[in-house]
Amino acid sequence: MPVVKPKAEGWTARLRAGPLWLVMWSLPLWAAVAPRLLRHKTPWLVDFKSVLCAAGRWNSHQAIYSASASCGGVNDSQFVYPPWVADVLGYPVSWLGEGAVLAAYACFFLAVLVFLFWLVFWRPMNGADRPARAPFLGFTSGNLVFVGNIAVVLQAGIVAAAIFLGAETIACTAAIVLAGLVKPIYLTFLTVPAFSTANWRRRIGLVVVAAGVVAGLCLSRLPLVPEWRAFVLQVAVDPHPGGGLLGWLGQLGVTAHPVLGVVYLLYAALLFGAGLVIAETARLSAAQRVWLALAVGVLLLPRIMAYDLLLIGPGLLVASQAASTFSSRVGERASALWLTACGLYLVSSLLGGVFQIGHSLALVLVAGGMMWLGGFMLAKVRRPGPDLAAPDVNAPAS
């Protein structure tokens, strides 16, 4: 069967193509960055500065998990990473000094951003041309650039390993383990090996080993690890639940941790299952599976921050393309749903304040849409029509 590509027709095509629309979709990004470029005293890389601060305090045998911990006034962002992050970074800080390490990181971070934007929005992808990807710029924000969060670097490592080395490789799983040891919630990106083209025994083995290593260390009673877990809940998770499931439920008044755990497990099972159904029933290529897995991995994050959403676009396009092989109408409706979510998130970012509830609504639309597509495709495979028996959308890797 020939590769089926989603058609860009009607109002959705007009809202995706053209340089003026490209500027519009990226408005939240450059509107936040441009003023900071003009104001020289505006702080940059505040997240990494908090890591440098913790590394310096570690070298000086001072407390790193304290709400009052600061270094020369750098207290805009608390250090919320495991103690081994401060320990490892403490070596280059002691050898080169904080200024040199910060300068090196700034250059490296800029290169990582360029790489990710090229990969997500510019590099050729089968079935997802550049105009189709442009609206997902609406999910970006200035925080992605000027906060300098090391999460962006971790994501780049996972994407690079998955795309260029293979989702089923030990190198890709190692990249996810490394990310998980810095940010444990990034274990949601184990969707990448789970959705890969490897046999099921290898998939399950990679997921179980990776999850076991990260959980074993992060749930241990190694020095400062219990203090780190308590501090993260105190200063990050509870007051700043983000835009994921924790944020959505918090806006509904659901804050009890046992209830959150049960609801999250149900949500994760439905979303993971939907993504797996899409990957298996449409027989996606290796690269398409990677992008789909990354999108599902982002949506599985219980606490989604602005810098997590850069990777979501290509996977959503893969999902709508897969659905279009069963029904062109469903594929077009899914594309329109993604476009609506992009627009809602963009408007919410520009208006700010109380209108930021639009961020949560946009992500609810996306997560609900992914579950809908998974359910639709599962129903079609279970009750196939004459020409609907698991069509093949296999395409060259990109």
pLDDT in tens, 282-328: 888 999 999 999 999 999 998 888 899 999 999 999 999 999 989 99
Mean local confidence (pLDDT), 224-237: 85
Residue 39, pLDDT > 90, answer no
pTM of the model: 0.90
pLDDT in tens, 127-159: 677 888 999 999 998 888 888 999 999 999 999
SS (HEC) of the chain = CCCCCCCCCHHHHHCCCCHHHHHHHCHHHHHHHHHHHHCCCCCCCHHHHHHHHHHHHHHCCCCCCCCCCCECCECCCCCCCCHHHHHHHHHHHHHHCHHHHHHHHHHHHHHHHHHHHHHHHHCCCCCCCHHHHHHHHHHCCCHHHHCCCHHHHHHHHHHHHHHHHCCCCHHHHHHHHHHHHHCHHHHHHHHHHHCCCCCHHHHHHHHHHHHHHHHHHHCCCCCCHHHHHHHHHHHHHCCCCCCCHHHHHHHCCCCCHHHHHHHHHHHHHHHHHHHHHHHHHCCCCHHHHHHHHHHHHHHHCCCCCHHHHHHHHHHHHHHHHHHHCCCHHHHHHHHHHHHHHHHHHHHHHHHCHHHHHHHHHHHHHHHHHHHHHHHHHHHHHHCCCCCCCCCCCCCCCC
More confident residue, 231 or 104: 104
Residues in the chain: 398
Predicted confidence band of residue 358 (pLDDT cuts 50, 70, 90): confident
Predicted confidence band of residue 42 (pLDDT cuts 50, 70, 90): low
- Whole-number Å distance between alpha carbons of 68 and 373: 47
> Closest Cα partner for 300 from 191, 150, 219?
191
Residue 253, pLDDT > 50, answer yes
- Whole-number Å distance between alpha carbons of 292 and 286: 10
Can you state the angle between helices 150-160 and 46-59, rounded to 10 degrees? Answer: 100
